[in-house]
Amino acid sequence: KAGVTQTPRYLIKTRGQQVTLSCSPISGHRSVSWYQQTPGQGLQFLFEYFSETQRNKGNFPGRFSGRQFSNSRSEMNVSTLELGDSALYLCASSWGHTNTEAFFGQGTRLTVV
């Protein structure tokens, strides 16, 4: 069974630009969550999608948004990039809600210059 796939693995963007990251969950998983990992803050929850609906949202500004498609694939978008958005963005999928085991992809390393 294929794992969680995130693309691209690495990305360099300029301040002010926008970026879209993609996540393909494990087949059969309907919940997709996104997390931001930085050295200072650790892993922080961005949002969760289940059956194309955003169910939970973390404490991030509106520049961070996401969506989920009917095949459970998810994208997250960050607009007007800031230097502080440089981080590892991780996607996790699970069969049900987040109180079940979540399986992570390898992440997208975003660098904003």
Partner 1 sequence: DQQVKQNSPSLSVQEGRISILNCDYTNSMFDYFLWYKKYPAEGPTFLISISSIKDKNEDGRFTVFLNKSAKHLSLHIVPSQPGDSAVYFCAASAEGGGADGLTFGKGTHLIIQP
90 binds partner 1 (CB under 8 A): yes
Among 24, 33, 68, 74, binds partner 1 (CB under 8 A): 33
Answer for the pair 58, 40: CB distance below 8 angstroms, yes or no: no
**In whole angstroms, how close is the CB of 90 to partner 1 at the nearest point?**
5
- Label the pairing between strands 108-112 and 10-13: parallel
Q: Would you say 8 and 108 are in contact if contact means Cβ atoms under 8 Å apart?
A: yes
Does the footprint of partner 1 cover residue 12 (CB under 8 A)?
A: no
Give the residue with the Cβ less far from partner 1, 48 or 85: 48
Shortest Å, Cβ 16 to partner 1 = 27
Nearer to partner 1, 13 or 58 (CB): 58
Joined tokens for residue 58: 């973390």
Contact assessment for residue 81 and residue 18, using Cβ atoms and an 8 Å cutoff: yes
| AA letter at 25 | P
Asked if 85 is part of the footprint of partner 1 (rule: CB under 8 A), the reply reads no
